[in-house]
Amino acid sequence: MLANGGIDNEGQLDVYAVRREGRKEPMIFYLNTYEEGALLAPKGLASVR
């Protein structure tokens, strides 16, 4: 059942692994791009189009 952009009233998230120079492990981000609203970057990072 599809409801509120999710399945069975649960949200959908995309998972991204971002590697940065100087870090051994990637940063993992869980983003919901299926609902309306502004996309915000975590503190210390900037978003780029």
In the beta sheet, which residues pair with residue 18? 27
Report which of residues 12 and 22 the model is more confident about. 22
pLDDT at 22 over 50: yes
User: Hey, which residues does 29 pair with through a beta bridge?
Assistant: 16
Where does the pLDDT of residue 7 fall: very low under 50, low under 70, confident under 90, or very high at 90 and above?
Answer: low
Burial class for 6, CB neighbours closer than 10 Å (0-12, 13-18, 19+): middle
Residue ranges making up the domain that contains 21? 2-31
Give the total number of structural domains in the chain: 1
Return the pLDDT at 30. 86
Query: Can you tell me the mean pLDDT for 20-47?
Result: 85
Q: Is 37 a member of any domain? A: no
**Is 44 inside any structural domain?**
no
Is residue 38 one of the residues assigned to a domain? no
Does residue 15 lie within any of the structural domains? yes
- pLDDT recorded at residue 19: 92
The pLDDT of 3-23, averaged and rounded, is 77
> Which residues are within 8 A (CB) of 3 and not within 5 positions of it... i.e. 6 or more apart?
9
Residue 10 DSSP code: B
Residue 36 lies in a domain: no
